[in-house]
Amino acid sequence: MYPDLKGKTVIITGAATGIGKACALRFGQEQANVVINFHSDKQVKETEEMIKEIKNSGGNAIAVQGDVTKESDIKQLIEKTISEFGSLDIMINNAGIENEVPSHELTLEDWNKVISTNLTGQFLGCREAIDYFLEHDIQGAIINMSSVHEIIPWPHFVHYAASKGGIKLMTQTLALEYAPKRIRINSIAPGAINTPINAEKFSDPKQKEGVLKLIPMGYIGEPEEIAATAVWLASNQASYVTGLTLIADGGMTLYPGFQAGKG
Ligand code: NAI
């Protein structure tokens, strides 16, 4: 537990499912004020349940619908946060999408959709949070949800890999730019995590086996294991950490092909 997170206000985008949801519930356990951004009308019920759970664990929460690709929605997300909780301390840009297409068949529409959600959406979240932190002299923290694919090339997912590679240098650049203001900006790079984004892949035993071969620790990660890294990065325990990509991947980026002395 991180006592300094108690009473802090955190926005998490795309927080009705998967990693974002696990982060929201974990910040709730830390007794933070949690703003659950969600995208689809279908997620309303889920966010209502989450609000109850967060309040039961001693935190506070609201849900705000919004599309991270829309500048006006991000601005509104920050405004609603301030009007409800009076401040913003932590911004987690988590919303992301992917779809598999051979690169020579990838439409401009699909390319733009992934880049605008995963990269532009995170930029807008960073920009609005930084602007607020500067205006109110807050030494805030920003966490961008990247991926091991900011390092590992990924055929058939060129738009996704490009978005995550972009997040890496966006995070480092912003971290450098705002370090003098003590605003810390970091990323998390999860490996294969058990969330809806992977549901179809992991429901096929053959595909799941293929993924497991890429993970030296031998299991698919749980969203709570990513949330555990997010609360640390947001807390004062990480006060001197900025510009970092924290990799949480069970060893996926350690060249598993070289295991047992191969190579
Ligand atoms: P998920 O599909 O459960 O979560 C993504 C969330 O983003 C969903 O709730 C979705 O409604 C929301 N979203 C999509 N478009 C949006 C938009 N325009 N505006 C607002 N919200 C929007 O999947 P997961 O795994 O929890 O993904 C979260 C983040 O973690 C993503 O950025 C993903 O790229 C990243 N990640 C996930 C990994 C995994 O294995 N699950 C591995 C590496 C990174």
- 15-29 pLDDT, tens digit each: 999 999 999 999 999
Q: How confident is the model at residue 201 (pLDDT cuts 50, 70, 90)?
A: very high
Gap from CA of 40 to ligand 1 centroid (Å) = 13
Report the b/e string of 60-86 with b at 16+ CB within 10 A.
Answer: bbbbbbbbbbeeebbeebbebbeeebe
Over residues 93-119, the mean pLDDT reads: 98
DSSP code at position 222:
P
Gap from CA of 198 to ligand 1 centroid (Å) = 10
Q: Which residues contact 195 (CB under 8 A, 6 or more apart)?
A: 17, 18, 19, 223
Gap from CA of 258 to ligand 1 centroid (Å) = 30
According to DSSP, the β-strands at 60-65 and 33-38 are parallel
Percent of the chain with pLDDT over 90: 99
Q: Supply 89's token pair.
A: 């301390």
pLDDT at 237: 98
Q: How many CB atoms lie within 10 A of CB 247?
A: 21
Q: What is the mean pLDDT of the chain?
A: 98
pLDDT at 116: 98
pLDDT at 255: 97
- Asked about 160 being catalytic, the answer comes back as yes
pLDDT at 170: 99
User: Any bridge partners for residue 33, and if so which?
Assistant: 9, 60
Does ligand 1 come within 6 angstroms of the Cβ of 16? yes
Q: Which of 23, 124, 197 to mutate to test the pocket of ligand 1 (most atoms within 8 A of CB)?
A: 197
Interface pTM (ipTM) of the complex? 0.99
Q: How confident is the model at residue 107 (pLDDT cuts 50, 70, 90)?
A: very high
Does ligand 1 come within 6 angstroms of the Cβ of 114? no
Atom nearest to 192 CA in ligand 1: 40
Q: How confident is the model at residue 8 (pLDDT cuts 50, 70, 90)?
A: very high
Over residues 51-65, the mean pLDDT reads: 98
pLDDT at 114: 98
Gap from CA of 5 to ligand 1 centroid (Å) = 24
Atom nearest to 148 CA in ligand 1: 43
